């Protein structure tokens, strides 16, 4: 039942702001929960006013009710003193003392890479994030990201495509789906990987929660990959934490005219590793012994000659159907049929404006 009292301490704002100092003064979280004012006053920096505030807030909480709410939602608690707390995360400055999680991957993952970027990603960025995540997960690497729109969601989906493992780090409680359209993604990650948060249920997605969340994303990972980000993107906050934590930073170059290339290009000028494929990441991290499976090669081999010609014509640039018809001199109705087939098979997608883009 000790975990119940850890939850209680996270529910008391006056304690949470000074969590490490207070918890380290006592032997157990239960002891903190029942501590008297005189006991709190023995802690350096705890004033009479603060001790009164702690006790007042504590008395307003129905701990048993909150504990049952977390258990009913299937949320487990991992503390920094637990043997299965992630070793990499424990090394960072100001590690989270408590993690609320769903799915057991967080307790046993080994190698991990974070993939982050813009919430307003282009079709190219989405496709590339998915491909990198898929290939890395095929090699046994866990993909970490923030379950946000754009690149984050694409990274998680890429990892999940081949039943790979992924960890989603939240900036709110588990009872809040943010963004709301990611409800199904939340459920899949919690079943196939782990969803984690340092916040108890009831915590809203407040803007200052996300920089704190970003330190966990980088803290769980061996390196951070940035795919599309403006110069003021939150993804670059994750990079700042990665550098502070001694993690590798990788950046994917993009179109020099695209504002979402500004962030990665700035990182590349500052010494970040330029990434073109997942193998670049594995080699830089000393994980080249982890080789991606032959899944994509096998899938390509199953395409007929005409389908392979369409993919070769597309390359990795967006094209209108008229351009493909002109370049390959194929009947328009036949071209449309082939494009539809390739889209169903997951090799291409049609972007806004009816341009086709190769994604695998």
Residue 302's pLDDT is what? 73
Instruction: Read off the pLDDT of each residue in 256-280 and give the average, rounded to a whole number.
Output: 95
According to DSSP, the β-strands at 356-358 and 348-350 are antiparallel
287 has a pLDDT exceeding 90: no
CB 221 within 8 Å of CB 252: no
Instruction: Read off the pLDDT of each residue in 134-140 and give the average, rounded to a whole number.
Output: 92
294 has a pLDDT exceeding 50: no
Percent of the chain with pLDDT over 90: 73
CATH entry 3.30.70.141 includes domain 296-358: no
CATH of 1-70, one of 1.20.1050, 1.10.150, 2.60.40, 1.20.120: 1.10.150
The residue among 16 and 242 whose pLDDT is bigger is: 242
Residue 296's pLDDT is what? 56
The residue among 102 and 307 whose pLDDT is bigger is: 102
Instruction: Read off the pLDDT of each residue in 33-51 and give the average, rounded to a whole number.
Output: 95
- Per-residue pLDDT of 103-117, as tens digits, reads 999 999 989 999 999
Q: Taking the model in full, what pTM does it have?
A: 0.84
- Per-residue pLDDT of 308-317, as tens digits, reads 888 888 876 7
Instruction: Read off the pLDDT of each residue in 60-66 and give the average, rounded to a whole number.
Output: 97
CATH 3.40.50.450 boundaries in the chain: 105-293
Q: What confidence category does residue 87 fall into, taking pLDDT thresholds of 50, 70 and 90?
A: very high
Residue 163's pLDDT is what? 83
CATH 1.10.150 boundaries in the chain: 1-70
Residue 30's pLDDT is what? 96
Q: What is the dihedral of CA 146, 150, 154, 157, to 10 degrees?
A: 70
d(CA 112, CA 137): 9
77 has a pLDDT exceeding 60: yes
CB 228 within 8 Å of CB 264: yes
- Per-residue pLDDT of 347-360, as tens digits, reads 777 776 678 777 66
Q: Which residue has the tokens 């003392």?
A: 97
- Per-residue pLDDT of 219-236, as tens digits, reads 999 999 999 999 999 999
pLDDT mean across residues, the chain: 91
- E strands within 261-355? 273-274, 348-350
Q: What confidence category does residue 196 fall into, taking pLDDT thresholds of 50, 70 and 90?
A: very high
Cβ-count burial 217-238 (b if 16+ within 10 Å, e if not): bbbbbbbbbbbbbbeebbbbbb
Residue range 105-293, CATH number? 3.40.50.450
- Per-residue pLDDT of 152-190, as tens digits, reads 999 999 999 878 999 999 999 999 999 999 999 999 999
The residue among 324 and 29 whose pLDDT is bigger is: 29
């Amino acid at each position: 039942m000790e975990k119940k009292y850890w939850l209680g301490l996270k529910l008391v704002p006056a304690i949470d702001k000074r969590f490490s100092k207070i918890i380290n003064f006592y032997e157990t979280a239960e002891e903190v929960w029942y501590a008297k004012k005189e006991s709190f006053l023995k802690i350096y920096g705890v004033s009479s006013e603060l001790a009164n505030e702690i006790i007042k807030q504590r008395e307003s909480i129905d701990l048993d009710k909150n504990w049952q709410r977390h258990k009913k939602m299937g949320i487990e608690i991992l503390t920094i003193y637990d043997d299965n707390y992630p070793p990499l995360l424990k090394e960072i400055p100001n590690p989270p003392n408590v993690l609320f999680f769903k799915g057991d991957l967080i307790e046993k993952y080994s190698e991990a890479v974070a993939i982050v970027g813009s919430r307003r990603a282009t079709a190219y960025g989405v496709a590339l994030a998915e491909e990198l995540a898929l290939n890395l997960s095929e090699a046994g690497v866990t993909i970490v990201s923030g379950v946000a729109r754009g690149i984050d969601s694409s990274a998680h989906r890429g990892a999940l495509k081949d039943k790979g493992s992924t960890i989603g780090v939240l900036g709110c409680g588990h009872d809040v789906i943010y963004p709301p359209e990611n409800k199904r993604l939340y459920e899949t990650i919690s079943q196939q990987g782990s969803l984690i948060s340092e916040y108890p249920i009831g915590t809203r997605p407040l803007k200052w929660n996300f920089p704190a969340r970003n330190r966990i994303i980088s803290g769980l990972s061996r390196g951070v990959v940035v795919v599309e980000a403006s110069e003021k993107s939150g993804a670059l906050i994750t990079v700042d934490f990665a550098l502070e934590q001694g993690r590798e930073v990788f950046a994917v170059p993009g179109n020099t005219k695209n504002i979402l290339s500004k962030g990665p290009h700035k990182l590349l000028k500052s010494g970040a590793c330029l990434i073109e494929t997942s193998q670049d990441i594995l080699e830089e991290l000393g994980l080249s012994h982890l080789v991606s499976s032959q899944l994509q090669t096998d899938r390509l081999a199953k395409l007929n000659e005409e389908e392979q010609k369409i993919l070769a014509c597309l390359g990795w640039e967006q094209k209108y159907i008229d351009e493909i018809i002109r370049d390959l001199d194929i009947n328009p109705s036949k071209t449309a049929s082939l494009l539809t087939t390739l889209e169903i098979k997951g090799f291409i997608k049609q972007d806004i404006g009816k341009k086709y883009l190769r994604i695998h």
